[in-house]
Structure 1
Amino acid sequence: MRGFWRGLAIFLLGGILGTGFGVALGFFLFPFVFPPPPAVEQITEADRAALYATGTFIHANPSDPIHYGKGKVSVYRRAVFLEPDFEVGPGPAYHVYLVPKATVRGEADVKDSMFVDLGRLRAFKGSQRYSIPEGVDLSKYPSVVIWCERFGVLISPADLAAAK
């Protein structure tokens, strides 16, 4: 009879741990299996007249095949616009940040700064517009980054250059 209860306890513990692991794995894999459709937002004519800076997203850590980014970004006086060629590898809880450090290449460059969170990334590819809050001095933010808030990982930085 003792062997029965021991076997039942092992079975229940395995079921609980297996379910927990399965749920955690599901949360991690969901954006890979069911990514949102590409975005097709447009920049307004009022924004387009006030181009401040441009940049290109890069793959900051080439040894990491999951966390990558590419495409152009344009910064206007009131908005950050991810251009139609924008793309990042899928993942959970990505955000768009303005970062007060030039040449962001690692997590410490973002974690140790007073960045401006422009909001959650709405799609892993395509054009997207993010409003810049009132009072933000763009001259103090030479980088735009895509950041995984859930795991504290740099996905892709873009160094900004003044518009001509």
Structure 2
Amino acid sequence: MKTKTILLLAATHIAACAAGFALGIYYLPILAAPPAPSAAEVQAAAGKASFQGEFKRALKGSDALHWGEGKVSVGPSHVTLVGSVAPGPAYKLYLVPKFVETNDDFRAIKSQSLQVGDVKTFDNFIVPLPAGAPLDRYDTVLIWCEAFSQFITAARYR
């Protein structure tokens, strides 16, 4: 075989493997996600909420692959979302002492934030709060991808 042919075949095979890997990272969390709670279940849990906020796609640190949108409710025992977030691996929900909307801004205050739990569904969610979580010490709910240290979305609730 000619050198050009070998290089072309190698390049196309590498590109195909890279594309398959990227699609696997994107689709695996979707395939492995548990069923999302129904809107009725989320609204029932949100009915006990003390605070509300909204995830918006147009945040500075959000993009086509990292976003959230919908109504967030924070109560004494749960944080709920009626809406959706972009699918991804290892999403964690945090309560944050001030509103931030970029990776760097969150990294600066991550140690002051409370990690609440895992976000396992991408359409609607109910995430239990730890008992006695001091909601008055925080004013923002934030979703962070631990696997890639990536800001997903945030919403001020107070």
> CA separation in 1, counterparts of 2:31 and 2:46?
32
Q: Greater Rg, structure 1 or structure 2? A: 1
1:119 to partner: Cα distance? 1.7
8 Å contact kept, 1:96–1:146: yes
Equivalent of 2:122 in 118, 121, 124 = 124
Alignment of 1:4-153 (within 5 A): 24-25=21-22, 27-31=24-28, 34=31, 36=33, 39-40=36-37, 42=41, 48-49=47-48, 51-59=49-57, 60-61=59-60, 64-83=63-82, 86-101=83-98, 103-113=99-109, 114-126=112-124, 128-153=125-150
Which sections of structure 2, spanning at least 5 residues, go unmatched?
Answer: 1-9
What's the % identity of the aligned pairs? 32
Deviation at 1:139, TM superposition (A): 0.9
**How many residues of Structure 1 are paired with residues of Structure 2 in the alignment?**
146
2 CA distance for matches of 1:74 and 1:96? 13
Following the alignment from structure 1 to structure 2, what is the Cα–Cα distance between the partners of residues 56 and 46? 16
Q: How far apart, in 1, do the equivalents of 2:42 and 2:29 lie?
A: 28
CA RMSD of aligned residues (A): 3.5
The corresponding residue for 2:152 is 155
Q: 1:138 is aligned with what amino acid?
A: L
Structure 1 unaligned residues grouped into runs of 5+: 1-13
Contact in 2 for aligned 1:38/1:125 (Cα 8 Å): no
User: Quick one: distance in 2 between partners of 1:93 and 1:46?
Assistant: 23
TM-score normalized with structure 2 length = 0.72
How far apart are residue 47 of structure 1 and its match? 7.3
More helix by share: 2
Number of the residue aligned with 1:7 = none
